[in-house]
Homo-oligomer: A and B are copies of this chain.
């Protein structure tokens, strides 16, 4: 049995003390986001997460979803929980008031999503996918489509999906074969098979709005001939009423390693009625709208599993008595000391903790830039925020999900043999978190997106701006003795990234394989340096708070100690990633394909 207690204090610290969301009250939606409202929402959200969703996490894993007569039943309790969740307005928290949403900042929404995902990742995926489909329609759909589909998606009455993958193509969408035949009434007939469709069919909602990539007749080959379609499970009439069951059926449920509570479907489309979203052949662009939203969310998922598994491991380490401290008994009245006295147990917990808190900071920092991009008036500000989002989304997706999984494994390790037994629930975190490294673009694709698209775009504008922002911060804290640890690490980290950039400029153009060979290590390097930047900012705030008399709250002191750990124990990985970036492609590509 696992538990979850939402880190409300840390979320509040980031939103109100570090990011100071209040400062953005000129942006739409931020006016209402006062510290009090933020606190209230985090408090209410944590209740739902802890009391409604978390108790269903293990049920979901054990029961899974089942398919009968084309209908998918979610695990016991999911339907009631979803009603509570949607009924509480959580599905529309950050969505447009025009369609019934509350229009609150995205950065607050991501904090709430983190809670839900930590509590029950499989459950949280259902509304998560709706949000992705919503994003595609609101950005690329027609006025009529928005009015027809969005209100019920915002209220949670309907859900959404993303249909990209086919049996022979995942990453390489240019190969997809699903056909869209234009009809006389402006609709299309969609035919094809989509696999790995999360939340593809289930019993939580009245209707499911599938967003489907398909190819129209005579469309160009490859990704340039792909269009995006809305295919509702039940066709929606002019008056909004549900009509006939569309030609889309769930052929089977995938048997997966984890996230059993979410229905992963093979969806068969046979002359299903679909409606073009945006322009023909521009489906990839719309797809990326869903994807970018989803990728940040998947990075969050990775982190969320590290967070919840850390909490359980920390509790176990305080309770389980085993061995004696190397420096003499700490609980002499008991048969043994608690695990937490052992340095190597601390190492595991501190690895997790220092990652979790740093990653949360970067996630919220980036999400806030998402808000600024969407809502700010100043074009330059918007551009910079958009650049940051673009640059950091693959980093967050790739680095957070790799580490989120690693740290779920670490938390399981704290339990010793008991972690391997299903009953404790620790191995579920490992199995569930594993998918985040794969879906919405496997992490190797994130690294390629970073190095091939985001880094060189606009002459490197995004990375240069980010490094310059780090540079400004370095000047700001120069001479501050108590931040010298961060100053030194961050200065070094900035140099590492610059060195990697230079190497790439000199070697990546002449041989693109050098860029590919460097991609994952570059992503890690940038991830570590970004988290170091976040830790430096958090430490600065914590020190100020202590100086201002907040020293009674151990929160700030713990923050400083955890930051110190990050710099001493995680930052050193940066240098080996730099060495690998600079190792080049030669030995990586040397063997013939047959030699493998």
Query: Does A318 lie within 8 Å of B593, measured CB to CB?
Result: yes
Query: Does A326 lie within 8 Å of B430, measured CB to CB?
Result: no
Closest B-chain residue to A419, C-beta based? B438
Which segment of A34-42, A70-78, A164-172 sits at the interface? A164-172
Kindly state the separation between the CA atoms of A422 and B170 in the bound complex, as whole angstroms.
Answer: 18
Query: Does A255 lie within 8 Å of B347, measured CB to CB?
Result: no
Specify which chain B residues have a CB less than 8 angstroms from the CB of A323 in the assembled complex: 171-172
Kindly state the separation between the CA atoms of A344 and B446 in the bound complex, as whole angstroms.
Answer: 11
Query: Does A587 lie within 8 Å of B564, measured CB to CB?
Result: yes
Say whether, besides A165-B417, A572-B579, A583-B569, A322 and B171 are in contact (CB < 8 Å).
yes
Say whether, besides A335-B175, A405-B409, A587-B569, A326 and B593 are in contact (CB < 8 Å).
no
Provide the A508-541 mask, 1 if CB < 8 A to any CB of B, else 0: 0001110111011000000000000000000000
Query: Does A589 lie within 8 Å of B516, measured CB to CB?
Result: no
CB neighbors of B among A433-456 (8 A): 434-435, 437-439, 442-444, 447-448
Query: Does A519 lie within 8 Å of B344, measured CB to CB?
Result: yes
Query: Does A256 lie within 8 Å of B420, measured CB to CB?
Result: yes
Provide the A329-360 mask, 1 if CB < 8 A to any CB of B, else 0: 00000011010111111111110010000000
Kindly state the separation between the CA atoms of A287 and B420 in the bound complex, as whole angstroms.
Answer: 23
Say whether, besides A347-B520, A416-B170, A558 and B421 are in contact (CB < 8 Å).
no
Query: Does B421 lie within 8 Å of A438, measured CB to CB?
Result: no
Say whether, besides A323-B171, A435-B420, A447-B344, A564 and B590 are in contact (CB < 8 Å).
yes
Say whether, besides A421-B256, A554-B595, A591-B558, A519 and B564 are in contact (CB < 8 Å).
no
Cβ-based interface call for A371 (8 A): no
Provide the A129-148 mask, 1 if CB < 8 A to any CB of B, else 0: 00000000000000000000
Kindly state the separation between the CA atoms of A346 and B519 in the bound complex, as whole angstroms.
Answer: 12
Specify which chain B residues have a CB less than 8 angstroms from the CB of A196 in the assembled complex: 417
Cβ-based interface call for A561 (8 A): yes
Cβ-based interface call for A257 (8 A): yes
Number of A residues, CB within 8 Å of B:
99
Cβ-based interface call for A562 (8 A): yes
Specify which chain B residues have a CB less than 8 angstroms from the CB of A195 in the assembled complex: 417
Cβ-based interface call for A282 (8 A): no
CB neighbors of B among A575-593 (8 A): 575-576, 579-580, 583-593
Kindly state the separation between the CA atoms of A61 and B83 in the bound complex, as whole angstroms.
Answer: 37
CB neighbors of B among A196-230 (8 A): 196
Closest B-chain residue to A583, C-beta based? B568
Say whether, besides A172-B336, A576-B576, A346 and B588 are in contact (CB < 8 Å).
yes
Say whether, besides A171-B416, A336-B172, A256 and B343 are in contact (CB < 8 Å).
no
Specify which chain B residues have a CB less than 8 angstroms from the CB of A416 in the assembled complex: 170-171, 438, 442
Say whether, besides A405-B409, A427-B257, A576-B572, A340 and B519 are in contact (CB < 8 Å).
no
Kindly state the separation between the CA atoms of A593 and B341 in the bound complex, as whole angstroms.
Answer: 8
Cβ-based interface call for A254 (8 A): yes
Can you add 10 more A-B contacts, CB < 8 Å, to A342-B444, A343-B516?
A171-B323, A172-B322, A326-B515, A327-B511, A342-B516, A344-B448, A349-B596, A350-B588, A420-B435, A564-B587
The 5 closest A-B pairs by CB, nearest first: A343-B516, A326-B512, A314-B596, A572-B579, A344-B444
Instruction: Please list 28 pairs of residues, one from A and one from B, whose beta carbons are closer than 8 Å in the complex, sorted by A's number.
Output: A170-B322, A170-B416, A171-B323, A172-B323, A172-B336, A175-B335, A195-B417, A254-B421, A255-B422, A257-B427, A314-B596, A317-B596, A318-B593, A318-B594, A326-B512, A327-B511, A343-B588, A344-B448, A347-B520, A353-B596, A417-B438, A420-B434, A430-B434, A561-B587, A562-B591, A564-B590, A572-B576, A575-B576
